Amino acid sequence: MRRNCGALLRWTGGTPVPTRTSTTLNFMFIDEAKIRVKAGDGGNGCMAFRREKFIPRGGPSGGDGGRGGDIWMESSERHNTLVHFRFNPEYQAERGRHGEGSKKTGRDGEGIVLKVPVGTIVYDEDTGEKVHDFSRADERVVIARGGRGGRGNAQFATSTHQAPREHEDGRPGEERNFRLELKLLADVGLVGYPNVGKSTLISRISAARPKVADYPFTTLEPNLGVVLAGEKGKEDSFVVADIPGLIEGAHKGSGLGTQFLRHIERTRLLVHMVDVSDGSGRDDVIKDVDVIRGELESFGADLEKKPTLMVASKIDVANPEKLKKLKQWSTRKKLKLYPISAVTGEGIEKLKYAMAEEVDKVRKELAAEAEETKLDRFIG
């Protein structure tokens, strides 16, 4: 049996072995990453002829090459950061095996599934186009398709061309560059200046235990907490995100800047916390409010239009004049104000139930809009 199938290439791709790093990296919150993926090439078709005793003119018997492996991306609730992509940015799927004689088709290459957190948006790095938005768990999409296997010479045989020597090479797999951006999926976002009590509040209303200290920018990464509100056995749950403190110029990159502003985009409700004590070192609470609201508006994405609850924090050591000004401003803007003390617990339960009520209201509005859209499509 004569064959010209070419040497089988040994595959050296696949998921890279994780780099040895410090154990602290497991706890880093990484919300951006760039990766390069290469789907598997298709296997080459084989040129072979059947030559056996007592079988004259056996004819062409070259098999087709196998298909290269695809690269998939799947959302998973078991992942909450993109840190595994930051240190392993390149992925290559297995190529298809070459065809063989006796019309044997090569084995298909093994694909790769890349797990990403729910809330990840995938962009094509070269074109800037949005490829997919993983808004639910267990969504799976192909981000790079493997190459088709080449045809062996048996595929080219006809009644007038009975001994073909034509055969095809496998097609190359797709090679693409992606930018991954994680936006947290939370119902409520806590916003405000640094050190206004956001971390302390989320530790009081949920099981989250963020770092709490009496200096600015204690929180360097978003914290999520699940809050239960309602009678026992009939509790409604919602997710609260503690967004690191904002300062003037955040939308331009000042402080922690836009690094975490994007995480507010998907929240249904904003809770704007204002420190009414004298410990902040800032005298004008109305200016504090205007600065934060200005940063939300400047960032875009209609953040300033989201439903908002105002919270006067640290009322156990409040400056009465500051609290009075904030109450008057909230009344003029028709916003509900909830004075609280995370230290004594005053006002915490009232605020928690108010958040649950607002979240439920927004959820029902979104559900009604979805039903209306579905009905319009059906009628159309």
* Element counts in the chain: helices (H) and strands (E): 6, 16
Name 241's bridge partners: 189, 224
Q: 376 pLDDT band (50/70/90 cuts)? A: low
Mean pLDDT of the chain: 81
Residue range 117-133: mean pLDDT, rounded: 92
Residue range 168-177: mean pLDDT, rounded: 96
- Which pLDDT does position 199 carry in this prediction? 83
- Which pLDDT does position 127 carry in this prediction? 92
- Would you say residue 252 has pLDDT above 80? no
- Which pLDDT does position 177 carry in this prediction? 96
Name 310's bridge partners: 272, 337
- Which pLDDT does position 7 carry in this prediction? 35
Q: What percent of the chain has pLDDT over 90?
A: 43
Name 91's bridge partners: 37
- Which pLDDT does position 221 carry in this prediction? 60
* 240 closest CA partner among 257, 228, 253, 249: 228
- Would you say residue 63 has pLDDT above 60? yes
Delimiting residues of CATH 3.40.50.300 domain(s) in the chain: 188-376
- Would you say residue 144 has pLDDT above 80? yes
Name 269's bridge partners: 188
- Topology, domain 19-182: Spo0b-associated Gtp-binding Protein; Chain: A, (2.70.210)
What's the CA gap between 224 and 186, in Å, rounded?
8
What's the CA gap between 127 and 110, in Å, rounded?
28
Asked if residues 302 and 318 have their Cβ atoms less than 8 Å apart, the reply is: no
86 three-state secondary structure:
helix
* 241 closest CA partner among 193, 303, 199, 213: 199
Beta-carbon contacts of 167 under 8 Å, excluding residues fewer than 6 positions away, are 4, 44, 45, 46, 47, 62, 99, 150, 151, 152, 153, 156
Least confident range from 222-226, 307-311, 317-321: namely: 222-226
Name 104's bridge partners: 100
Beta-carbon contacts of 341 under 8 Å, excluding residues fewer than 6 positions away, are 313, 314, 315, 316, 347, 348
Q: What percent of the chain has pLDDT over 70?
A: 79
pTM over 0.85: no
* 273 closest CA partner among 234, 330, 235: 330
CATH number, domain 188-376, options 3.20.20.150, 2.60.120.10, 3.40.50.970, 3.40.50.300:
3.40.50.300
26 three-state secondary structure:
helix
CA atoms within 13 A on the CB side of 70: 8
pLDDT in tens, 186-211: 789 888 888 888 888 888 888 766 55
